[in-house]
Structure 1
């Protein structure tokens, strides 16, 4: 008896279709196999992986919540899923110590770090968001006042330094993610500047503005370049990538070599007059001057984990644009997430400073 070709193809792709059906349409969750898992682990990026089985009721109830968390965390913390019911993935699932479904693990620095398991019985989008955010090993240095900038830049003079003048008290998720990704190539710092007065003291602005600002100190220099691109993950990641690999063009170093003799201890640009790389965005050059302690107004900030309210807001921001769940995805009951407040999505989510 001949088997129709369409039936053969359906059977062939059935495992993938069953796995994909766990998650809502257009989800940010990427379903990967063993090969894809290896590629994910090759990068120094905090990632979350859910090891699931399509027939598992707990997995089915978790899927909508996991998908909401993926949308709130993307692209800073990518979320993946591995179908352990597929024969080709079984060795990987066994290797990762999967003994039941679902098993959710965070890999703080890809394969370079020991994974941590999500142990809470409440598999909600808010809890996933909260847990993943706290798992990023960012190494961002908090500065409490303008007077600490000079010491921080001197201490890390051998490499580029990226300073965020932040309008919020906590380290933004985007800054944590970038601080982790370029941990060994760029030193990251943050100074709270809610009113914008610290930026005025540094000469960044003539009058206080409450928006966040990113300043880049080239290697060996006490001067900074102000990043003028969008304060979102993708453009910042692109720009910092050029800073990390040495292709970013810093006008302050070029001007120094053209207009004045180079002192023995002065920084030397490895780029010279090289054309700005495609990844570098336009910048405004501003010299950093020494600031007298008599004119310093400290902006104290307390280090703290994301509170429940912040996590709720980030997750709710993803719900307004979410499509209706397909009929194959059951409604979450025990794993119910935060209530939806309205149908509109805010202009920005966590992917913005």
Structure 2
């Protein structure tokens, strides 16, 4: 009899255990942490509402872990264990009727503040890695100003009052990594993008020496992407030459302004507490390597 009761107790314990407590890229959320983690950000969040005893959830778990790895530093990934009694009202609030339920939360259009109410969009596509990742990336807010040659010339003539990051890319699209950096420094650094093929043939000659230095660096044909950072306070142009990883670029940008989110921010330290002590140092191969 005692063995039977012990078996039932242990099975109940296993069923209540969180799936992702040991995953360094996924936050296990509760009603106390959900609001700050999901709504208190300008980043997009992919959330799985699950129950550990659910066979479909168990089958999805490896895909969620791979998706979290692919989205690390770009889109937040979180989970809520709806089997835990304290979480059940939160799951009901978000319309969870079956497991697993996937949803993407993202800031409403036109809202720049982290406290703005987010839109909740259910994910009803294939429960496969690529569709889930693509769906999440497509919901990232884009705070990068896309320029052509004429707009770049006007930008250099003006300069603005905030630090300015300009990426001249050999690619024609704004990479998710660059979008994520713009979100991290939202309101502190203005981010712009220009395809190298659309750089002006004649170099603008701004009055400010720092802007002139940036403009001259972009003159001619670029055979590789170039990231420049203009600091209006010191009137200096900084040219990035390091690895294209988020931590490295964050260190570069922090020369002129502190981020609101992402690496080096106070918020990042809060998010790490949700992941416990499971965060480990990643190899360079694990980081996103394109701007």
Tell me the TM-score normalised to structure 1 length. Answer: 0.59
Cα distance change on mapping 1:186 and 1:174 into 2, 3 Å:
same
Given that 2:25 and 2:72 are in contact with CA atoms closer than 8 Å, whether structure 1 keeps it comes out as yes
CA RMSD after TM alignment: 3.8
Aligned positions of 1:245-324 closer than 5 A: 245=258
Aligned partner of 1:94 in structure 2 is: 92
Larger Rg: 1
In 1, the alpha carbon distance for the partners of 2:75 and 2:287 equals: 13
Aligned partner of 2:121 in structure 1 is: 117
Given that 1:143 and 1:189 are in contact with CA atoms closer than 8 Å, whether structure 2 keeps it comes out as yes
Q: Is 1:225–2:233 an aligned residue pair? A: no
Among 29, 53, 56, the alignment partner of 1:55 is 53
Cα displacement (A) at 1:219: 3.4
**Number of aligned positions between the proteins:** 249
Q: Is 1:185–2:185 an aligned residue pair? A: no
Cα displacement (A) at 1:175: 0.7
Given that 2:170 and 2:222 are in contact with CA atoms closer than 8 Å, whether structure 1 keeps it comes out as no
Aligned partner of 2:256 in structure 1 is: 243
In 2, the alpha carbon distance for the partners of 1:126 and 1:199 equals: 39
Structure 1 portions without partners, runs of 5+: 247-278, 280-344
Q: Any idea what SS the aligned residue of 1:216 has?
A: strand
Cα displacement (A) at 1:89: 1.0
Cα distance change on mapping 1:36 and 1:13 into 2, 3 Å:
farther
What are the Cα deviations for residues 110-160 of structure 1, in whole angstroms up to 9, with x where unaligned? Answer: 653423323334121111111111111122111122x42232356661211
Aligned partner of 1:36 in structure 2 is: 33
What are the Cα deviations for residues 192-231 of structure 1, in whole angstroms up to 9, with x where unaligned? Answer: 1269x87996432798553322111223787632123322
Q: Any idea what SS the aligned residue of 1:98 has?
A: coil
Among 74, 77, 80, the alignment partner of 2:75 is 77
Q: Is 1:143–2:147 an aligned residue pair? A: yes
In 1, the alpha carbon distance for the partners of 2:43 and 2:255 equals: 17
Cα distance change on mapping 1:205 and 1:64 into 2, 3 Å:
same
In 2, the alpha carbon distance for the partners of 1:160 and 1:199 equals: 25
Q: Is 1:152–2:166 an aligned residue pair? A: no
Aligned partner of 1:314 in structure 2 is: none
In 1, the alpha carbon distance for the partners of 2:171 and 2:104 equals: 26
In 2, the alpha carbon distance for the partners of 1:351 and 1:241 equals: 19
In 2, the alpha carbon distance for the partners of 1:105 and 1:83 equals: 14
Q: Any idea what SS the aligned residue of 2:183 has?
A: helix
Aligned partner of 1:164 in structure 2 is: 167
